[in-house]
Structure 1
Amino acid sequence: MPPILHVAAIHAEAPAGGAARFIVGQDHAGRWVAVEVHGRAGGLFRSRDAAVHFAAYETGHRADAVSVSPDRVELRL
């Protein structure tokens, strides 16, 4: 079973500063998820492209602000 990325774990590794960063990946049901590293934003999406598009928009299209994870990503509400 692949590892699961939890927002709390991502938060601990998040860089200092106010720059929003997103992790994009699939949850346990295969849905695409975009999660802001501090847990302040996120969502479920129909496709990888839609999740990346949302994350890119939310981060001002900064090239280094969105990461696609090969690990399972869970959106915690």
Structure 2
Amino acid sequence: MPRPLIDATANVAAPARLPLAFLVGRSAEGHWLAVETHGLGGGIFRSRRDALHYAAAETGRRPDAVRLADTTLALVP
């Protein structure tokens, strides 16, 4: 009988992951950005609405997961 690839009886906790959160604001060049607060993602958008839509979709539309920045933002490579 073949052995299962995963031991379903193992009591191993999944690694803790922090929930995604985004800052939305303008870059120094005037572009709209959505920047993930842990530095894992983001993008440049045509409008504030597009940046907010992306950030909300990425966070599952969780309350308080998307904030507007009060300073200029930058994407870091």
TM range (shorter): 0.7 to 0.9
Q: Which runs of 5+ in 1 are unaligned?
A: 1-16
Consecutive aligned runs of 4 or more in structure 1 exceeding 6 Å deviation: none
Q: Per residue, is there more helix in 1 or in 2?
A: 1
Task: Tell me which residue corresponds to 1:8.
Answer: none
Number of matched pairs:
62
Q: Which runs of 5+ in 2 are unaligned?
A: 1-16
Identity of aligned residues (%): 46
- What CA deviation, in whole Å up to 9, does each residue of 1:18-41 have, x standing for no partner? 110000000011000000011111
Task: Tell me which residue corresponds to 1:30.
Answer: 30
1:70, CA displacement in angstroms? Answer: 2.0
Q: Per residue, is there more strand in 1 or in 2?
A: 1
Matches within 5 A, 1:7-22: 18-22=18-22
Task: Tell me which residue corresponds to 2:44.
Answer: 44
**What amino acid sits opposite 2:70 in the alignment?**
P
C-alpha root-mean-square deviation of aligned residues, in Å?
1.4
**What amino acid sits opposite 2:36 in the alignment?**
E
- Partner SS state of residue 44, structure 1: strand
Task: Give the structure, 1 or 2, with the largest relative contact order (CA under 8 Å, sep 6 or more).
Answer: 1
- Partner SS state of residue 43, structure 2: strand
With normalisation by structure 1, the TM-score equals 0.76
Task: Tell me which residue corresponds to 1:72.
Answer: 72
